[in-house]
Structure 1
Amino acid sequence: MDIILIRHGETEDNIKSIFSNDTTKLTELGKKQMLNTAKILKKYSFTKVIISEYFRTKQSLEYLGITGIEHSIDKRVNEFNFGVLKGASIDGAQEKYRDVFTDWYNDPYNFVLPNGESQKQLLERVSVLYKELINNNESVLIITHDGVIRAFICALFETKDVYFKLKSDNGSISIIRHENGYSRLYKYNET
């Protein structure tokens, strides 16, 4: 069985270097990325589709053109919750929330962003879902976000230490394959 992870296409917030809002839309490039991803996706099979609550994953699903398979929304595949930083430019937020950034950089795993979450909380929610999916033994497509894809890989390797060493491109496909009682990273960041 496969856990097929697709990062949404490029968004308006991605190109503006903004901590993304829940409602940010795909750019024209983001739409093209998803059409390209749809071509690659044809070589894989799955029986279930999960997306996050955010508009960019709904749009990405539309451009993938998946038919005949219902999708469900699962909050556990929502992007890392940046809390008070949502909608702020990365540079501007560092100025405005200097103390928050200092605390976050000093302990990125445990520090809970105001009105947001910690990396630990993200990894825990994704790890629970990862284990459920492995136990269900059903190939699934998940349209999600960079932080969530990195969290799935941390769950696979059973370590938080790789989280900041990974980056998923917009529209990329990563696959965790589970067979014969063993899971492995089968593909990473395929575009």
Structure 2
Amino acid sequence: MEIYLIRHTTPAIERGTCYGFADLDVANTFTEEATRVKQLLPDKPFVVYASPLQRCSKLAHFLFGDDLTKDDRLKELNFGDWEMKRWDDLGPDALQAWMDNYVYARVPGGESYEDLFNRSVEIFKEVIAKNQDAVLVTHSGVIRALLAYVTNTPLENSFELRVEYGRIARLRVTDGKLELLGVNE
């Protein structure tokens, strides 16, 4: 069984803005980026899951049509009160307090990285249990959490796992064992 984790293409948002649950549209480079992703995928049937946020669902529809399942557990980290604010405007104390313990500390009105990890792994295990080739079109936080799970990387170190826009991480499941085949393809 193979699982493809695909990060959405570049979002239409100004750099330096905090976003996670915000339902952003995609940048005007969408068709070019999505076409590149499509060319990298094998021509075989997949069970397709996507975050319901449009930056993921648009890519999933472009790649696979309407035969997909949208699941809230594939959403990016909920930044709560910080959503759509500039990182620079959050204040150094608030931001530093979260950065010092981002795995377990919840963003005001939002969630922690551990919360995201737990919901991501929950759906991932359900996908594996179906034993069918699958695609998850999602966000960097979810992909990073799943790669940490697969590679037994501590969450504190998982931000070293770089996940780029419009890129694929490939996994193989053989006899219940998970293997990472490639990242940022």
**Aligned residue for 1:87?**
84
Aligned counterparts of 1:109 and 1:176: Cα–Cα separation in 2? 24
Paired residues of 1:47 and 1:138 also in contact (CA < 8 A):
yes
1:161 deviates by 4.0
Alpha-carbon displacement from aligned partner over 1:32-52 (angstroms, at most 9, x marks no partner): 1111111111x2534311111
SS of the residue aligned with 1:189? coil
Runs of at least 4 residues off by over 3 Å: none
Cross-structure match for 2:174: 179
> Which secondary structure does the structure 2 equivalent of 1:3 belong to?
strand
Count residues with an aligned counterpart.
Answer: 183
Name the residue aligned to 1:141.
135
1:173 Cα deviation after fit:
0.7
What is residue 126 of structure 1 aligned with on the other side?
A: 120
Q: Tell me the CA shift for residue 185 of structure 1.
A: 0.5
Write the deviation string for residues 129-178 of structure 1: whole angstroms up to 9, x where unpaired.
22222222111111100010001111212332442111211110111110
CA contact (8 A) 1:154 1:161 kept: no
Determine if contact 1:2/1:46 at 8 Å carries over to the other structure: no
Structure 2 distance, partners of 1:129, 1:56, is: 19
**Partners of 1:19 and 1:70 in 2: CA distance:** 31
Q: Does 1:19 align with 2:14?
A: no
Task: Note closer, same or farther for the CA distance 1:140–1:114 as it changes in structure 2 (3 Å cut).
Answer: same
Q: What letter matches 1:157 in structure 2?
A: T
Alignment of 1:66-105 (within 5 A): 66-67=64-65, 70-93=67-90, 95=91, 98-105=92-99
Q: 1:44 to 1:120 in 2, by over 3 A?
A: farther
What is the distance in 1 between the residues matched to 2:118 and 2:16? 27
Stretches of structure 2 lacking an aligned partner (at least 5 in a row): none
The TM-score normalised by the length of structure 1 is 0.88
Letter paired with 1:75: D
CA distance in 1, matches of 2:96, 2:15: 23
**Structure 1, gaps ≥5 residues long:** none
* Superposition deviation, residue 18 in structure 1: 1.4
Q: What letter corresponds to residue 161 of structure 2 in structure 1?
A: L
Q: CA RMSD in A?
A: 1.7
**Residue of structure 1 equivalent to 2:30:** 30
- 2:61 corresponds in structure 1 to 62
Identity %: 25
| Contact 1:146 1:169 (8 Å CA) reproduced | yes
